[in-house]
Structure 1
Amino acid sequence: MTVHVPDDVARALTRFCGPDWVADLPRKADERSRAWNLTPTGAPLHGAVSLVVPVTTADGRPAVLKIQPVDDETRGEPDALRLWDGRGAARLLDHDPATGTLLLEALDHTRDLDSTIDAQGVDQALEIIAGLLTTLNAHPGPPHMRHLGAMTRDLVARARRLTATPLPHGLADALTRWADIAVDIAPDAGDRLLHWDLHYQNVLAPLPGTGRGPWLAIDPKPLVGDPGYELLPALWNRFPRGPETERLLRRRFDLLTDATGVDRDRARAWTLVRVLENTVWPLEEGDPTGHGQMLTLARALGA
């Protein structure tokens, strides 16, 4: 099997993974395909940090070969998929620990939840997200997986360092408020298995005739923690615009907390920890302008 990585896919992956990693993709795909007796069936696809090759297995089953770097975010994916065992998420068929390569059941990549929103509305999409989160978060997280408590304490330290540097007007005060909330809640960070990135494009329909679904989660960056930490991607993606923005964000928050049954106060606090995280990242990368939506979301939540 020789995988050709299209130029646009190579450019997208190089941004996050580097040119050497991208240049080695054909060899990795060939090695795993021979080991697992796979046949390619279509052009490669990609996520932010992964190459996805449609294949069939030796017994003719459609599948996808997912190649990605092994880091703190991706390391726990095979363990989480094994625990979920196809309930609410794509099923893991095989895994190569040496390279982090996954063999997954094939889903319909042309039908994600994001593509249904214009026809069906955000409310229905949020109800689907909430149902998947309820299923996925029902499992206790394995003890060796990265933990929200440690991540939160590290985030607070990073935020405190930033407040000692020149920041746009009012941002240092906001970071301080959110960091104080994070300090208060970090000791009780929870024990559930979290997806971390369940937005609308990470929810796919199954292939017709498989009896799966109707919707399944993909691409988890799993950790152990409180389910209230899971809400921000569905609040933030498809960000509402105009004078009703804050009201619409509160409506989304209300719908998600009602549908999942998570404690509202804890969900508010953990969502503000995510707001802090999404503000710290661009500041650390030298972008002083990437915090506007996070400030709006925090105002919508009364912080």
Structure 2
Amino acid sequence: MYEPTSPQPQISVPPALAPLLDHNFGPEWTSGLPALTGLHLRRWNLTPTGAPMHGMVALVVPVRRADGSPAVLKMQPVTEETRGEPAALRAWAGDGAVRLLDHAPATGALLLEALDPARTLENEPLDRALTVIGGLLARLTRHRAPEGTRRLGTITRTMVRRCAALAPHLRDPRDRTRLAALASHAREMASEPGDRLLHWDLHYANVLAPLPGTRPEPWVAIDPQPLAGHPGYELLPALHDRWNEAVATGDPLRETRRRFDLLTETAGIDRDRARAWTRVRVLQECVWAIEDGGTALPDVPVAVADALRDRPSRRAKDAPAAPLPSRTVDEGDDHRV
């Protein structure tokens, strides 16, 4: 058993992270996180070099290793979504993804390569950001998923089974019809899920720049929630996020098709299959929205599905405009990507 050998400063859970952890994993996890973080600081002989950061579930502490090199300590619970992250990072071995330096399987703690948290794709020009994500998808999905990775086919079949119980919660019969159509489509897709190593959560904030002089490439993916499946399942975050910019064009559905074409062309993904798997991903968003108490389907994912539904492969400039859905698009939808 490891015995701590040197004192470390107490790490506090950021106020914005604490209620998220309480809600998802219970107050006991939240209250024990500072001590657990201190244990790993001592275990790996790390010195904190800045204030802790966080995402939705992870506490991230910038640190300096014993040899003076920078790194980050990532503390997160071991869940179905996070359990596969170390194996995926090892499989990628830095090929488009952050490098894994060490891992504590019992606690889920990860020691990772340090990147620049101030530079993400959120503030890059949109077409540049889309091109970067398409390029990263091509690199990440050329790797086959390691044994034991969650399977997209299993997840899809589970979603379909849940829909029957969720449909009555929708107020509008048209939404119930649409949910049934998405579920029927997903049931058909589940038989050919693919075996590529997917990131699953490749949105603009999950792509960071490396520290100067550490890598030749300008952008690196972080925070995967790995799946084994088809690369087309990866596109929805980049289509869904920065939606205000799609609305600002005056025709967000046409803009969605343009984004889709740029992503699939850059990533080298078959457009028809990508369109089909994006609709399955939309179903996942709908299931989550209803399970969170929603009585209507989420507008932005539904708008993405409308933009891509039953359209032949072609450049977006040739595609006719399509009307917006009847409900107002809400930038605040909880899409979890």
Shift of 1:247: 0.3
Partner of 1:241: 247
Q: Residues 96 and 136 of structure 2 are in contact (CA less than 8 Å); yes or no, is this contact kept in structure 1?
A: yes
- In 2 relative to 1, CA 298–149 (structure 1 residues): closer, same or farther, beyond 3 Å? same
Pick from 64, 70, 81 the counterpart of residue 72 of structure 2: 64
RMSD of aligned alpha carbons: 1.4
Residue range with higher mean Cα deviation, 132-141 or 238-247: 238-247
In structure 2, stretches of 5+ residues that fail to align are 1-7, 311-337
Report how many aligned residue pairs link the two structures: 299
Q: Residues 144 and 196 of structure 2 are in contact (CA less than 8 Å); yes or no, is this contact kept in structure 1?
A: yes
Partner of 2:327: none
Q: Residues 198 and 227 of structure 2 are in contact (CA less than 8 Å); yes or no, is this contact kept in structure 1?
A: yes
Q: Residues 62 and 71 of structure 2 are in contact (CA less than 8 Å); yes or no, is this contact kept in structure 1?
A: yes
Provide the C-alpha distance between the structure 1 equivalents of 2:13 and 2:159, rounded to a whole number of angstroms: 36
Pick from 125, 145, 157 the counterpart of residue 141 of structure 1: 145
Give the aligned residue type for 2:176: A
Q: Residues 89 and 100 of structure 2 are in contact (CA less than 8 Å); yes or no, is this contact kept in structure 1?
A: yes
Flag the structure with higher helix content.
1
Provide the C-alpha distance between the structure 2 equivalents of 1:8 and 1:291, rounded to a whole number of angstroms: 25
Identity within the alignment, %:
54
In structure 1, stretches of 5+ residues that fail to align are none
Provide the C-alpha distance between the structure 2 equivalents of 1:22 and 1:95, rounded to a whole number of angstroms: 20
Partner of 2:24: 16
Pick from 263, 268, 272 the counterpart of residue 265 of structure 1: 272
Residue range with higher mean Cα deviation, 280-289 or 261-270: 280-289
User: Do residues 49 (structure 1) and 57 (structure 2) align?
Assistant: yes
Give the aligned residue type for 2:70: P
Give the aligned residue type for 1:248: E
Provide the C-alpha distance between the structure 1 equivalents of 2:296 and 2:184, rounded to a whole number of angstroms: 23
Give the aligned residue type for 1:182: A
Q: Residues 45 and 51 of structure 1 are in contact (CA less than 8 Å); yes or no, is this contact kept in structure 2?
A: yes
User: Do residues 173 (structure 1) and 184 (structure 2) align?
Assistant: no
Residue range with higher mean Cα deviation, 280-289 or 67-76: 280-289
Give the aligned residue type for 1:27: A
User: Do residues 291 (structure 1) and 294 (structure 2) align?
Assistant: no
Provide the C-alpha distance between the structure 2 equivalents of 1:169 and 1:297, rounded to a whole number of angstroms: 20
Q: Residues 191 and 224 of structure 1 are in contact (CA less than 8 Å); yes or no, is this contact kept in structure 2?
A: yes
Q: Residues 17 and 56 of structure 2 are in contact (CA less than 8 Å); yes or no, is this contact kept in structure 1?
A: no
Q: Residues 229 and 267 of structure 1 are in contact (CA less than 8 Å); yes or no, is this contact kept in structure 2?
A: yes
- Other structure's SS at 1:7 match: coil
1:8-50 C-alpha deviation (Å, 9 max, x unpaired):
3323443433322111111111111111111111100001010
User: Do residues 210 (structure 1) and 218 (structure 2) align?
Assistant: no
1:200-244 C-alpha deviation (Å, 9 max, x unpaired):
000000011213431000000001000010100100010121541
1:3-42 matches, cutoff 5 A: 3-42=11-50
